[in-house]
Structure 1
Amino acid sequence: MILELLIPMLLCTLLVAVLYSCVGHGGASGYIAVLALFSVAPEVFKPTALTLNLLVAGIATFSFARAGHFSWRLFWPFAVTSIPFSFLGGYLTLPSHIYRPLVGMVLLLSASRLLLQKDQAPGHTTPPATATAMVIGAALGLLSGLTGVGGGIFLSPLLLLCRWGEPREVSAVAALFILVNSGAGLLGHLSGVQAIPTYAPLMAGTALLGGVIGSLLGSRHLRVPTIMRVLSLVLALAGFKLLLV
């Protein structure tokens, strides 16, 4: 890629990483949008997005957990089934003309619901039944691997709308959920003898910087209503990207 295109692409990557990591997300859907905007070959979308997700979600996991927001009880039922299904989804390559519009509409609906939702009373949450969480985790893991998205962008609004967790707790759980599913999806993808583009390390360094900035803001400095609005914006951007790109 020529320098004139690489520099603005890296700046866009930085912005995506900051915005998404504020709410504990890796930013895969945003990275895919950036790659599409700069006319990168579609076959490298999935491995590039998953690689950047690993870095940014790792930073977000550390920051939110260190601030005391992580809940193992909320996390593990979703993760235990999502990991193998994410590996399977990463291995498979399916046409996107059906699931992309459907997922886009779900994200836009979630964004609107979160934006209009009244403030949630502190402590007024109940974790889901283990069986329910495991079924949802399997579905989100498969979708995560198929699309090259870590899955947190689907898990976060679900946890909030169902009142299964507090906003910062949800961000912490989503960050680790994205981390483990991105790793499984990437392993599945690479086992299909597919490669990561040569400029991925440059994007990785940029995303890492953005992840540090955004996760510190989200875990310690941003108010809960601000986090909710940022998450709504992230979901809306991802939804429009899936519908229009």
Structure 2
Amino acid sequence: MPVLAAAFALTALLYASVGFGGGSTYSALLALSGVDYRLLPIVSLLCNLVVVTGSTMRFARAGITPWRGAVLLTAIAAPAAFLGGLTPIREAVFLTLLGASLVLTGLTLLVPRTSVQDGEPSPLARWIPLAAAPIGYLAGLVGIGGGIFLAPLLHIVRWDSARAVAATAALFILVNSAFGIAGQLIKSGPDMVGAALAFGLPLLVAVAVGGQAGSLLALKFLPQKAIRWLTAALTIWVGARLLLAN
């Protein structure tokens, strides 16, 4: 457990520094450690909640969150995240989807970031809500928040400023994680959620510490580009290991 907790803290540090929760990597680390796959999405979504709650509150207090657009995307995605959490899935399918999601996650971190500050919004920006439901469903199914997929799309179409995109992603992850847990609770029952909490309590503490450190790191030390590359490398490596082991 100490090694796993340290890995969770490092993951939270890296992901929080680029505005995400890290749910997919938490699940992969648990899978590679041999933890019951039914616990994976619950523990990961709980960790997401711990990491992004503070970010969401800070963005809201600073007046950065574009509430109209952020709430629209989140409202579309949240019911789909709930359905994803409800969906029964075999272990082999779950691990394959998780590994593929991780590799894709790592690649999305390498997408150049643009915003309305770099030009007018793309005409494609109006179609972004169509992507919210599929992202939400995948989020609930494999135990991620989905912001890691949403944010690159928002940057590509210059949906809003970079800070507004980060704020939107944080809210998106927070709400989807909560709805995903609700679906997992109905599917697996309170005993499974209780087992996930009992097992994952040290990991929740670890990501709380790592998440705070990540916010500080992003603000005062490493540049965002360097952090994104480190996070992408970690994510792709873990995802590839999971695919090869499955």
Instruction: Flag as ranges the 4+ runs of structure 1 deviating above 6 A.
Output: 127-131
5+ residue gaps, structure 1, are 1-5
**Structure 1 residues 224, 101: closer, same or farther in 2, change over 3 A?**
closer
Distance 1:101 1:9 in 2: 18
**Would you say 1:240 and 2:234 are equivalent positions?**
no
Measure the CA separation in 2 of the matches of 1:69 and 1:227. Answer: 22
* 1:90–1:121 CA distance, 2 compared to 1 (3 A): closer
Of 118, 124, 132 in structure 1, the residue corresponding to residue 118 of structure 2 is 124
Match of 2:11 in 1: 16
Cα 1:179/1:234, change in 2 over 3 Å: farther
Aligned residue in 2 for 1:156: 151
Shift of 1:49: 0.5
* 1:7 Cα deviation after fit: 0.9
SS at the partner of 2:117? coil
**Cα distance in structure 2, aligned partners of 1:168 and 1:162:** 15
| Structure 1 residue 137 corresponds to structure 2 residue 132 | yes
Deviation at 1:46, TM superposition (A): 0.9
**How many corresponding residue pairs?**
236
Equivalent AA in structure 1 for residue 101 of structure 2: V
Gaps of 5+ in 2: none
Residue 59 of structure 1 corresponds to which residue in structure 2? 54
- C-alpha spacing 1:32/1:99, structure 2 compared with 1 (3 Å): closer
In the superposition, the TM-score normalised over structure 1's length comes to: 0.82
Residue matched to 1:110: 108
The residue type equivalent to 1:124 in the other structure is D
The letter of the residue matching 1:140 is: I
Q: Tell me how large the CA RMSD over aligned residues is.
A: 2.8
Could you say if the C-alpha distance between residues 13 and 108 of structure 1 is closer, same or farther in structure 2, counting changes exceeding 3 Å?
Answer: closer
Q: Which amino acid aligns with 1:51?
A: L
Tell me by how many angstroms 1:128 deviates.
7.1
| Cα distance in structure 1, aligned partners of 2:115 and 2:135 | 27
Residue 40 (structure 2) pairs with residue 45 (structure 1): yes
